[in-house]
Amino acid sequence: MFSPPKRESSLGELPMESWMSLLPPPCGTPLSQLAIPGSHNAITYCLDMNDRSPVDLTQPDLLQKLDKFMKPLIRPFVYKWAITQEVGIKQQLDSGVRYCDLRIAHRPNDTSTDLYFYHGVYTALTVEAVLLEIRQWMDAHPREVLILSFSHFLGLSPELHVLLISTIRSVFASKLCPKTEVLTLRNLWARGLSVIVSYEHVLSCSSADLWPHIPYWWANKCRAEELIQEFESRKQSGRPGGFFVTGMNLTEDLKYICTHPTESLKDLVVSTYPPLLSWVQQQSPGCGGGSLNIIAGDFVTESGFVPTVVSLNEKLLKHS
């Protein structure tokens, strides 16, 4: 566990772009027992606003049909509720995010091998372009550790999975953390490792450098009190072993969207962050049955989300 700091100060006051490297030594706590801020649907800041780009194939048939014939009316609503992050990936990492939820797709009828992110519609930036941005950021912050969760694959053939894994390995190379490593900051620093890749596919089982899918607590609620109630219920059964994510992301339903026609997902998130972050402040990291680990949110630079999560690690200091 951590040694007590030399002086009393809030971890939330640390420079968030380097909060991991500034944690009090010896940093021997397993990463799965730290409170780590995460970004839900991290790459939606660059959704393709060109109306010729299709809605993604996970959307209901009705929406796909309406989008086909009533695009000028439907697309503004799609964009307002599909964007979960407004700032680029480097700004998210500068803000202190250390877990990224990355949902990968191959566009329908695309003859190239380019892959994109998606949520409602596809992104304009390719997966490779974003991964290269992340690598550039990591080179400038060698003691910060990132957890990249690749999941919700859409339209990927076995060949495209092989290509994506090859791209991941090419971009991150010696930074990739193999599954045999002890996941503490101290150990990863000593070995020069700083990227943990979780890959939601059977290929992760036979890959030494691809970690299995990280469980994600998704409450599927659009009211803060219902979200909190769902998480409290899940805590009664104990936390999963290893990494896991508590998703502070509200999910709007059609009824909510229709009754709030002038609002957006950001309006919903910002209005509910006060009670949600108040609940987060009452939580603890660690190995206890009711402890939390990764806490992922939308619009991560709003309302002090990241410092609130990082500050939870002070509870580990007090118990050390």
- ∠ at Cα 84 (286, 11), nearest 5°? 35
Other beta carbons less than 10 A from residue 285's beta carbon: 22
Q: Are 66 and 74 in contact (CB under 8 A)?
A: yes
Annotated active-site residue in 106, 119, 161, 201: 119
Whether residue 40 lies in the annotated active site: yes
Annotated active-site residue in 40, 106, 161, 201: 40
Peptide bond connecting 26 to the previous residue in cis, omega within 30 degrees of 0:
yes
49 contacts: CB under 8 Å, gap ≥ 6: 79, 124
Torsion angle defined by CA atoms of residues 17, 22, 27 and 33, in that order, rounded to the nearest 10 degrees? -40
Q: Where are the beta strands (DSSP E) in 23-96?
A: 36-39
Distance CA 304, CA 300 (A): 8
Whether residue 119 lies in the annotated active site: yes
Helical (H) or strand (E) element with 305: helix 305-311
Query: Annotated active-site positions, please?
Result: 40, 119
